């Protein structure tokens, strides 16, 4: 599902974030919004479909900025705005769309269809598990190629269960953010 060792490998080569490993948790400190977004882009490179990315943290801690980076890294068509008032946004993306060569573009239609993913960005701040279930949660998670990003995931922990990769966001000071992968 979610390969943390690959993420850690990429992050170690990213000179802008400070990485601290504490009791089998990866902790990233970013100093500005662009770094938080870039960390999201790096995570996107590790996603293959079927992942649920669960983001927790106080208001203004960087969850939406990180989500924007993930969406950008996945090649989803922007703009990437918070789904706070609409609860859920759906994006269609093609894996590695930015890196396709001319030869890859000429592959069979069947191969291209296999590369399509839907990306769902959910903001559970104003809702609960029942509301998300009514929006089609079971169908969304049943498709192995879907990627789901959930802000305020602790509010729907009951339906996410252990399937999610949990990241906790904390505002340290100024523009600094602490992001812990649990």
Domains and CATH numbers, the chain: 39-166 (3.40.50.300)
Q: What is the dihedral of CA 171, 33, 63, 43, to 10 degrees?
A: -120
Helix axes 33-44, 4-12, angle to 10 degrees: 130
Rounded to whole angstroms, the Cα distance separating 59 from 82 reads 12
Q: pTM for this one?
A: 0.77
Rounded to whole angstroms, the Cα distance separating 100 from 89 reads 26
The residue among 149 and 81 whose pLDDT is bigger is 149
Strand partners, 30: 177
Q: What is the pLDDT of residues 21-33, one digit of tens each?
A: 444 578 999 999 9
Rounded to whole angstroms, the Cα distance separating 130 from 136 reads 10
Placement of tokens 């170690």 in the chain: 12
Find how far residue 179's CA is from the centre of its chain.
Answer: 13
Q: What is the pLDDT of residues 106-156, one digit of tens each?
A: 444 444 444 557 999 999 999 999 999 999 999 999 988 999 999 999 999
């Amino acid at each position: 599902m979610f390969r943390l060792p690959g993420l850690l490998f990429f992050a170690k080569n990213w000179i802008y974030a400070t990485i601290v490993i504490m009791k089998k948790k990866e902790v990233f400190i970013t100093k500005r919004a662009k770094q938080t977004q870039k960390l999201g882009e790096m995570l996107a490179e590790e996603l293959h479909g079927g992942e649920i990315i669960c983001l927790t943290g106080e208001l203004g801690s960087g969850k939406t900025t990180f989500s924007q980076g993930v969406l950008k890294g996945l090649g989803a068509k922007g703009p990437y705005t918070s789904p706070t008032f609409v609860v859920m946004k759906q994006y269609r993306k093609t894996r590695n769309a930015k890196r396709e060569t001319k030869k890859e573009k000429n592959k069979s239609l069947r191969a291209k269809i296999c590369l399509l993913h839907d990306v769902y960005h959910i903001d559970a701040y104003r809702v609960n598990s029942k509301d998300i279930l009514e929006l089609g949660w079971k169908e969304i998670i049943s498709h192995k190629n879907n990627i789901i990003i959930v802000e305020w995931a602790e509010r729907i922990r009951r339906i996410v269960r252990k399937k999610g990769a949990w990241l906790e966001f904390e505002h340290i000071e100024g523009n600094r953010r602490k992001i812990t992968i649990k």
